A and B are shown apart, each in its own frame.
Chain A
Amino acid sequence: MTDGALESSAQDRQRRGSGPGPAGADGATSNRVDDEAALLTALRAGDERAFERLVVEQGGRLLAVARRLLRNDEDARDCLQECFVQAFRALPRFEGQAKLSTWLHRIVVNAALMKLRGRRARPEGSIESLLPSFHEDGHSTVSFRDWTPGADELLEREEVRALVRAAIDQLPESHRTVLVLRDLEELDTAEAAAALGISPNAVKIRLHRARQALRQQLDLRLREGYLA
């Protein structure tokens, strides 16, 4: 994806109101815009403290994105460094129409995907056993039960949140990556397809299978251990 496409996509996300970071009240937003404009001016002037501020303020959130995609701390740290190196180089072309945080988010996602592609391909486990099965006549082979009442309370428990994160981590990589991009990093189908170099339809198929597999894992674990 080009820098222009990155920024344009980031602007779209801001218009949709789904960019990283909470929306504030008008006054707070105005202050933040002024603050960001000042930071951008300082960065363009080569102010060392502005670069340090950018890395310290944005680094943690971007490191979390890299970890979600790479599942390896060392690779995530390398990815963060690569992200900022790319950002510093691209800064003169950054027009400032998108938020810096949104622009950096797209850069770190692409840097992480590049790193994933560079990894030696590992054989993936099959996802089939986590997908629903059907009789010849199209009826499901099992009757599904609704465990959603009570799920809100469960989410307040760190052990359950860890269980959910572990269930995501255990998805086959090609499916997990799509789920992370679409459902956690909030890229739309076209953005995820462009980032992964696959068709939008392939994104939809993998996403649906990934969600089904995640649902099945949570169904088993939550009903066994937490929901009567």
Chain B
Amino acid sequence: MRSRIGKLVESGGELYLTCEEVIGFLLEYLDHELEPEEERNFERHLAICPSCVAYLATYRESIRLARGAEAAAPVPEPAPELVRAILAARGR
């Protein structure tokens, strides 16, 4: 399969993915949907780019914070009149 990640730049005599490519494919990376070669290139970039490592960490953390914040929200209790309306609707 032809790699979907194409943009490479030279650094220190070696070719690396750009930040744009890495950040663009974060979702596929986290879902383990990259081809092995794509994943290797992805991780080679991370090894030399603390900024993208920070982006990846905060991207992941944002998902975790969203889940945590929603899970901790109080569960609303349906008002008695709403329960009655629902039960009444059953008979219609």
Set of chain B residues within 8 Å of A64, measured between Cβ atoms: 73, 75-76
In chain A, positions 139-182 with a C-beta closer than 8 Å to chain B are 139-140, 142-148, 151, 154-155, 158, 160-162, 164-165, 168, 179
Q: Are A214 and B90 in touch, CB under 8 angstroms? A: no
CB neighbors of B among A31-69 (8 A):
48, 51-52, 55-56, 59-61, 63-64, 67-68
Categorize the interface residue count of chain B. Answer: 35 or more
**What residues of B have a CB within 8 angstroms of the CB of A140 in the complex?**
19-20, 23, 51-52, 55
Considering the complex, give the chain A residue whose CB is closest to the CB of B77: A60
Residues of B within 8 A of A59 (CB): 77-78, 82-83, 86
Min Cβ gap A122→B in Å is 23
Q: Given A151-B61, A218-B62, do A208 and B54 touch, yes or no (CB 8 Å)?
A: no
List the B residue with the shortest CB-CB distance to A84: B86
Which residues of chain B come closer than 8 Å to A148, judged between CB atoms?
57-58, 60-61
Contact between A161 and B68, CB atoms less than 8 A apart: yes
* Least Cβ–Cβ distance between A141 and chain B, in angstroms: 9
Q: Which of A189-213 contact B (CB under 8 A)?
A: 204, 207-208, 211-212
**Cβ-based interface call for B34 (8 A):** no
- B51 CB → nearest A CB, Å: 5
Q: CB of A3 within 8 A of chain B?
A: no
Q: Which of A97-105, A106-114, A130-138 makes up part of the contact surface?
A: A130-138
Q: Say if the beta carbon of B32 comes within 8 Å of chain A.
A: no
Chain A nearest CB, measured from B62 CB (Å): 4
Chain B residue nearest to A76 (CB atoms) is B76
* Whole-angstrom distance between the Cβ of B6 and the nearest chain A Cβ: 11
Give the size category of A's interface with B: 35 or more
1/0 per residue, CB under 8 A from A, across B1-42: the answer is 000000101000000001111010011100000000000000
- Chain A residue nearest to B55 (CB atoms) is A144
Q: Which residues of B contact A84 (CB under 8 A)?
A: 86, 89-90
Q: A115 contacts the other chain (Cβ, under 8 Å)?
A: no
Q: Is the CB of B58 within 8 A of A52?
A: no
Q: Which residues of B contact A165 (CB under 8 A)?
A: 69-70, 73
Contact B58–A81 (Cβ < 8 Å): no
Whether B53 is near chain A, meaning CB under 8 Å from some CB there, is: yes
B72 beta carbon closer than 8 Å to chain A: yes
Assess whether A134 is in contact with B18, with CB atoms less than 8 Å apart: yes
A59 to chain B, nearest CB (A): 4
For A139, what are the chain B residues with a Cβ–Cβ distance below 8 Å? 18-20
Contact of B87 among A48, A158, A212, A219 (CB under 8 A): A48
The answer to whether B89 and A146 touch across the interface, beta carbons within 8 angstroms, is no
Decide if B83 touches A184 in the complex (CB within 8 Å): no
How far apart are the CA atoms of A162 and B66 in the complex, in Å? 10
In contact, A215 and B69 (Cβ under 8 angstroms): no
Residue numbers in A under 8 Å from B86 (CB-CB): 55, 59, 80-81, 84-85
Nearest 4 interchain pairs by C-beta = A138-B18, A164-B69, A59-B78, A146-B54
